[in-house]
Amino acid sequence: MSLFLQVDLPAALTGTLAALCCALLGNFLLLRRQSLLGDAISHTVLPGIVVGFLVFGTRSAGPMLLGAIAAALVAATLIELVKRYGKLEPGAAMGVVFSVMFALGVLLIERAAARTVDLDAECVLYGQLEDVLWLGPTAPGDLLKPSMWSGFPREAATLLVITVVVAAGIALFFKELRITAFDPELASSVGIPAGAVHFATTALVAVAAVASFEAVGSILVVAMLVCPAATARMFTDRLTTQVWLSGVFAVVAGIGGYVLGALAPVWLGMDGSLSAAGMITVLSGALLALAILLAPGHGVVAKRLRSLSLSAGIAREDLLAMLFRLEENRSGVTLTRGEIRGALGGGLPSRIALRHASRRGDLSIGAAGATLTDAGRAEARRLVRTHRLWETYLVRELGLRPDHVHSTAEALEHVTTEAMAQELGERAGAAADPHGKPIPD
């Protein structure tokens, strides 16, 4: 228990809070199509941290955090300036600013190292989540003792405060964040300054990113600014829901990633544990990949299924209309399954169409093959009627040539509403289509 309270709890909590505050802000970067800003900021804080150190001469958190935030804001301003005056597209502007500032940071570290001071660029990039310890509580009862809380890890405390500030800010200014991201001109015209809201968001991203770096490193920050919000977007078309879901995904990735990092090696029979920050990042990426594939509305699989069911529905209607046309020449038409599948062009849609038609009672399928039922014949008559009405309309009212209209009518008959069919019927006023075929009632 004391291991859990002293090592696992603070580390998992820190990782999760970092993920959460970045994920919540990430929603608004995603909406502005500025997710790269997180990447830019994560690199630009390096010179800030070094300058903070060089100016104040201490490795304590305050000055370095201050330097990092200042650097992030300088970077955000520079990006705007480069965009405006350098005539660069936003991605290029960010790329230029953050790579140059990062390089500057490396040079500064070299200078600092020359003065025999220990500063490590790696801990900015990869973080040191495993070093977040709470040396104090040894049993759950200790959590109630106020004295224990003085040893609560600073990283976790900082992130807790920032997460609360971020969540409160989003709750309080939700309306303003939404309108300035969607339509900055309208926002400004009604007195909600889009530029100021944008700047405040950027500043918060900088603060959240900097506070997270120390514990989890910049790679996780960049991933968390993008992945949870993008994952949430796959599941919903509502911004409120998206923000809530992004929080849920961040917490799942945070806790799940930490647990996996600790347990996966054990399961795989390896020694030690995996980097928790790395595992959280990988898990959030995996969640996004799963969402892109499997999300019910926007997922790839769902889209494929929808288009399959659409083409199967069209194939079913084509099948009914085909049987009806055959029956016009001789009654009691029966087609075998093979003939039907061949006529419908084969493939999965034709199989589904056949099964669907028999289940709906459009067809009676016996040993010899499929025949239209009365219900099926009624629907088929409606479809053929619509088709021939469209042909009549296209030839008479649009002046198309009679031999050009079949395929157009074929496409239109599947999307014709009852009201449209009625209007077509009134306009046509004829008993036969342009090819002389009777228009059924």
Partner 1 sequence: MPLKQAHRTAAPEPLSRLPEHSAESPLSVHDVTVAYHRKPVLWDIDFDAPAGKLTAIVGPNGAGKSTLIKAAMGLIPLAAGRIEIFGKPIRAQRRLVGYVPQRGSVDWDFPVSALDVVCMGRYRAIGWCRPVTKRHRDAAMACLERVGMAGFAHRQISRLSGGQQQRVFLARALAQEAMLYFMDEPFAGVDAATERAIVEVLRTLRDEGRTVICVHHDLHTIEDYFDHVLLLNMRIVAQGPVAATFTRENLQKTYGGRLTLLDEASEALARTAAPGAS
Binding stretches for partner 1 (CB under 8 A): 31, 33, 172-176, 178-179, 181-183, 185-186, 188-192, 233, 236-239, 242
Q: Give least dist CB 188 to partner 1, A.
A: 6
Q: Please, which residue, 179 or 430, has the CB nearer to partner 1?
A: 179
Q: With respect to partner 1, which residue has the nearer C-beta, 186 or 290? A: 186
- Closer by beta carbon to partner 1, 193 or else 265: 193
Q: What angle do CA 190, 196, 200 make, to 5 degrees?
A: 135
Rounded Cα distance, 335 and 154, in Å: 77
| CB nearer partner 1, residue 31 or residue 383 | 31
Residue 238 CB, nearest approach to partner 1 (Å): 6
Instruction: Report helix, strand or coil for 371.
Output: strand
Q: How far is 170 from 39, CA to CA, in rounded Å? A: 21
Greatest pairwise CA separation for the chain in angstroms: 100
To partner 1, the closest distance from the beta carbon of 292 in angstroms equals 15
- 134 SS3 class: coil
Q: Which is nearer to partner 1, 48 or 247 (CB)?
A: 247
Shortest Cβ 113–partner 1 spacing (Å): 43
Say if residues 393 and 424 touch (Cβ distance below 8 Å). Answer: yes
Token pair listed for 94: 């960010």
| 231 CB-near residues (< 8 Å, 6+ apart) | 245, 246, 249, 284, 287, 288, 291
- What's the closest the beta carbon of residue 297 comes to partner 1, in angstroms? 9
| The one-letter amino acid at 308 | L
**Closer by beta carbon to partner 1, 233 or else 356:** 233
CB of 91 to partner 1, least distance (A): 16
Taking each helix axis as running N to C, give the angle between helix 174-182 and helix 154-172, from 0 to 180 degrees, rounded to the nearest 10: 70
CB of 235 to partner 1, least distance (A): 10
The contacts of residue 304 (CB under 8 Å, 6+ apart) are none
CA distance 282 to 267: 18
Shortest distance in whole angstroms from residue 96 CB to partner 1: 21
Nearer to partner 1, 110 or 183 (CB): 183
Q: Give the residue with the Cβ less far from partner 1, 69 or 230.
A: 230
Whichever of 24 and 335 has its CB closer to partner 1, that residue is 24
We find the least distance from the C-beta atom of residue 271 to partner 1, in angstroms, to be 45
In whole angstroms, give the CA distance from residue 48 to residue 113.
Answer: 16
CA angle 351, 373, 344 (to 5 degrees): 30
Query: Helix H segments across 236-299?
Result: 239-267, 276-294
Nearer to partner 1, 209 or 232 (CB): 232
Helix axes 194-235, 174-182, angle to 10 degrees: 90
Instruction: Look at residues 162, 180, 159, 172 and name the one whose alpha carbon lies nearest to residue 28.
Output: 180
Shortest Cβ 187–partner 1 spacing (Å): 8
Of the candidates 395, 403, 381, which has an alpha carbon nearest to the alpha carbon of residue 427?
395
| Burial readout 350-369 (b: 16 or more C-beta within 10 A, e: otherwise) | bbbbbebbeeeebbebeeeb
